[in-house]
Structures are given as C-alpha cells and as structure tokens.
Amino acid sequence: MLFCTRSLIWGGLLAIAGLTTASPVATGPLPIAIRDNTSPPSSLEHRDYNTTSLSPVVSLPPTIQQDLTTLLSPSALVILPSSPSFSQYTHRWSLNTHTNSPSYAVIVVPASERDVSLTIQYANVHSIPFLATTGTHGTWQGLSQLQGGMAIWTRNLTKMEFAADGQSATLGGGLRGDDVVPALWAKGKQTTTGSCRCVSLLGPALGGGHGWLQGQYGLGADQILSARVVLANGTAVKASNTENSDLFWALRGAGHNFGVVTEVEYKLYDAVRPEWTYQSYTFTQDRLEEVYRVHNEAMRNQSVFVVYWSLWRWAPEVDPVHPILVSTVYYNGPPSEAASYFAPFAALSPLDTTPVLTTDYPGLAAAAQFRVTDWACQPKGGATVYGMDVDTYDVRALRQSYNAFRDMIRTEPALSLSMAYLEGYALQAVQAVPYESTAFALRDRKLLYGFLVTYEDNTTATRNKTLDAQAQKWGEKIRDAAYGEKVKQKSVYVNYAKGSESLQAMYGYEGWRQERLKMLKRKYDPKGRFSFYAPIKA
C-alpha cells in the first residue's frame, strides 16, 4: 500500500515535470538510519533539537538514481556509493561521523534551482532526510544524526552576475569564499565573506557571517539584498525586504533552518583601500594577562580598519610544555598609518616579532594561513569548534581556560594540534544595522572565541571514540573556564556552536526572538526537514 501511494505521488511529480515513470534499476534498497547521539551530556546541554519528526529508519527507493536522473536537468548528477566518484562528494572538514559528520547513501548535484526543488519534492515523497552541503565545514554535532541520507551538493550553483551599477552581484548558493574573493578583486570589488577561504559564502552568512571587512560593511548576512530559497515543501521563493520579508528576516542569522538558498543578491563595494599591513607577536604564557589587557585597551576604541587576532598553539620548539600565544594586528591601510596600532604590542617586548608585512585583501588568506591549501582548511580526523562570544577579555577567566588548554595538550598528545582562535573584528557597520531587523542576535559582542579541539588520528573507530570523549571533555572544560564568573548569559555564534548550547545562547535571549523564530519554523518548515544544523524547535 505504501509503495502504491508513493508511486502515485511520484507519478504525479514526474507528470508535473513533464516526464514519465522510469523503469527500476538494480541498485536495491539502501538503509537510512538517524543516529542516536550517544555522546555524554555536557554542562551546557539543552538538547531541544527538532528531530523527532524524522523517521528513524527508511529505505531509499531502488529506482532513485533513474528516477532523479529522469526528473532533473541533464547537467544534474545523482551519485550512489557504488560510483567511483562518490567519495569526491562526501569528504568533509571534520571526517568524524561519531561526532559531527553526516554520511550519505545518495548525492544529488543540482544544476539549477528547479533541480533543488524537484529533489526536495522527491525526498519528501519518499521520506528521505536530506542536507544541503557546500563548504563542508559545519561541525554542529547534530550533523552526525544524518547517517545514510541524501546530500544536496550545491557546489555547481556557481552563478556570478554583476549588476550594471557595480553595487551588487547575484551569487550562486554553491560558491565558496575562495571562488568569490578573487573574482570580485579582479573587478576592483570586495565585500564581507568569511576570513577563511575554504568555507562557503552562505554557510557563514546564513548564521551571521564574520570576516575581515565586517567593521566597514557589516556581517555577511547584512550584504544579502534578496535570496532565492527552496523551502521544505520544495517550493522556490524569493525573500527580500519586500517579498516574504519574514523569511528574509529569519534567513539572516538562523538561515540554515529555512531552506536551500540557491542564489543571493549580495552587496559589493569598491576596493578603495587595497592595502593591508600586519604584524604578529609571539609571547610565552607568563605574559598572558599583560597581552590580553593590551588587547582590551586596544579594542576600547577599535578603528573600523583594524582586526585584532590572537591564538594559542603548542610549539614544542619554543616550549615543550606550555602552548604559546600569538597575537596579530591587521590594518587596512599603509604601514605609516598602521604603526600606532602595532606599537602597544611591540612595546610588550614579545619573544618574537615578525617584520611589518603588507598584502591586499585576497592576500589576507595567506597572511592568516587560511588558504584552501593551509592546515586550517585541511580535513581533520575529528574536529569540533567550541565557540563563545564575549564583550571583553576577562583575563582571569582566560588564564583558567589557558591552563585547561595546556593540561589537555599535556595529558592527551593526540589533541596537541588543537588551537584557540580569539577573534576581535571591528563592529561599527555591524552595529549600524538595526538590532531587530535580522535574526542575528549578537551584534554587540566584540570577541569571538573558537576553541578548535582536533586530532588527525582516524585509524580505528575505537580510537576515535576514546579521543572523542577526551576531546569533548577538554573542549567543554576550556570553554566553560573562558566564560568565567562574569558572564551571566552565555552566547555563541551559531556557526561556532558545538551542538550542546541552548537556542537562546545562539539566537538571542529575548522572548520575542524565540517566539518569532518558532512561529516562522512552523510556517516554513513545519515537519522539521532542516533540522540537522542548529535547529529551532517549533
């Protein structure tokens, strides 16, 4: 009966597309399971994800490849695990399906918005859980609840059309920072993208989108003038301030919950200040309090053109026990103007100071080692980001956090490549956007911490699980310590959240925000089809 019902609906879909039902191919049913998440609860645990509506076990139709190939445009691809090319589409930044990586039984590579729409309709008819995947850098732990599902691999949605006035471009939902930044630069343009070139344009922007230029132009989300979105029911709509404005509000901060964005109209700016100047300072751990007091002072009246970064990493050649601190000041302008921003750090007599270096906007990726080929972008055996947002460096809390970071590296050498990223972007243009006007709720937070707990070992499942437990224990400990006692309401940028945080921490503590998001989730995704990444519980 079920088969009969599905066939009827499916036949209807094919008819809509002007096609006839294809005969079955011999692929056999493929099991799909939604993984039980067995990781131990953490101190921040609020497991209120809306995954209850997903069927725990379903099978892919044996004819899926032929069905979709018939239905979709000739350039679309439908790839099964038996295909030699399958693994090209499944790699992720964090490879660990125990913690935060999905696995797929079928990959669909749409070539158009219509393909996305028909794919989602097909998935709905057959109760197949699906996930849009673009830059593959998401590390939300709920991603691993999709095991054996469908990937909608957006990377062939690469439209890039410049408006005649040069003030905006239509950019495809499959583009990465690495596609966008050089292409704009070649036209004398720039805009806010993620600082790291391997993430997508929209994965970050749908959650806010932090980057080098946010102080001047606002967040990635603030650049979106309109978006084309395929909703949970497969309908494609436009969202802007004048069309589906409620959806447009939600997309800019909680966007992973509401659809597959196939393209956006995105603001561009003339690159009138092409030059960047930067300098890095290395400190031993005993300078931690002094260093972050200087950061606090420097950030008190932060110039719109300055970005303050700091990181912790283990450098045994410097100190075999204590990780080092490296702070970098990036200034969008020439060395003559940058000098006054560098001086307070140089005055601390660092252990090592790099020469003053210059580059252009695309060159920042190399300066920060955030190119696609750099370590930061390369796949990891297991990697989880423990993020948090704060107003200022609480040096007491940071010391406790640092000590936990040091202890982790001492006691678990497999985690010794872990890093702490402490990011201080300027906020002027971010705060110029009215606070209520988008779903992004953290416009007042100056500092973004990302504790990256990672290991390369991916040899055995047993080892993974042991390391996962260790990584989780240490990650939570390092982050908890960094919050300290002063922070009463914990906040975390949704794209740096791990999966154990509350909805309030990610989407704002105001009741009206939570209510509005829930109402919109009920309206646009009542069955919770977009529920593998920071999902709103309707």
Cα–Cα distance, 432 to 430 (Å, whole number): 5
Least distance from C-beta 533 to ligand FAD, angstroms?
Answer: 3
Residue-wise DSSP of 139-164: --GGGGGEEEEEEEEGGG---EEE-T
Single out the residue of 110, 173, 215, 218 in contact with ligand FAD (rule: CB under 6 A). 173
Cα–Cα distance, 45 to 35 (Å, whole number): 18
Considering beta carbons, is residue 155 or 295 the nearer one to ligand FAD? 155
Least distance from C-beta 242 to ligand FAD, angstroms?
Answer: 21
Please give the residues from 240 up to 259 whose contact with ligand FAD meets the rule CB under 6 A: 256
Tell whether residue 101 is a contact of ligand FAD (CB under 6 A).
Answer: no
Cα–Cα distance, 478 to 45 (Å, whole number): 16
Tell whether residue 135 is a contact of ligand FAD (CB under 6 A).
Answer: yes
User: 380 - beta bridge partners?
Assistant: 94
Tell whether residue 380 is a contact of ligand FAD (CB under 6 A).
Answer: no
Single out the residue of 209, 215, 362, 499 in contact with ligand FAD (rule: CB under 6 A). 209
Tell whether residue 134 is a contact of ligand FAD (CB under 6 A).
Answer: yes
The phi, psi pair for 511, rounded to 5°, reads -55, -40
- Is residue 404 within 8 A of residue 478, CB to CB? The reply is yes
Least distance from C-beta 195 to ligand FAD, angstroms?
Answer: 4
Least distance from C-beta 296 to ligand FAD, angstroms?
Answer: 23
Least distance from C-beta 211 to ligand FAD, angstroms?
Answer: 5
Tell whether residue 154 is a contact of ligand FAD (CB under 6 A).
Answer: yes
- Is residue 467 within 8 A of residue 454, CB to CB? The reply is no
Q: Which DSSP category does 254 fall into?
A: H
Tell whether residue 420 is a contact of ligand FAD (CB under 6 A).
Answer: no
Any alpha helices (H) in 394-510, and if so which ranges? Answer: 395-411, 428-432, 461-483, 503-507
Tell whether residue 499 is a contact of ligand FAD (CB under 6 A).
Answer: no
Torsional class of 517: left (φ above 0), alpha (ψ -120 to 50), beta (otherwise)? alpha
Q: Judged by CB under 6 A, which stretch of 18-26, 29-37, 130-138, 274-282 contacts ligand FAD?
A: 130-138
Cα–Cα distance, 14 to 35 (Å, whole number): 32
- Is residue 267 within 8 A of residue 223, CB to CB? The reply is yes
Considering beta carbons, is residue 140 or 281 the nearer one to ligand FAD? 140
The phi, psi pair for 199, rounded to 5°, reads -80, 160
Considering beta carbons, is residue 14 or 196 the nearer one to ligand FAD? 196
Tell whether residue 141 is a contact of ligand FAD (CB under 6 A).
Answer: no
Least distance from C-beta 80 to ligand FAD, angstroms?
Answer: 20
Q: Which residue is nearest to ligand FAD (CB)?
A: 203
Tell whether residue 424 is a contact of ligand FAD (CB under 6 A).
Answer: no
Single out the residue of 376, 388, 397, 415 in contact with ligand FAD (rule: CB under 6 A). 376
The phi, psi pair for 48, rounded to 5°, reads -115, 40
Neighbours of 280 (CB within 10 A): 22
Tell whether residue 277 is a contact of ligand FAD (CB under 6 A).
Answer: no
Cα–Cα distance, 397 to 390 (Å, whole number): 12
Q: Which DSSP category does 496 fall into?
A: G
Tell whether residue 453 is a contact of ligand FAD (CB under 6 A).
Answer: no
Which residues would be at the binding site for ligand FAD (CB under 6 A)? 93, 131-138, 154, 173, 194-196, 199-200, 202-204, 206, 209-211, 256, 260-261, 376-377, 495, 533
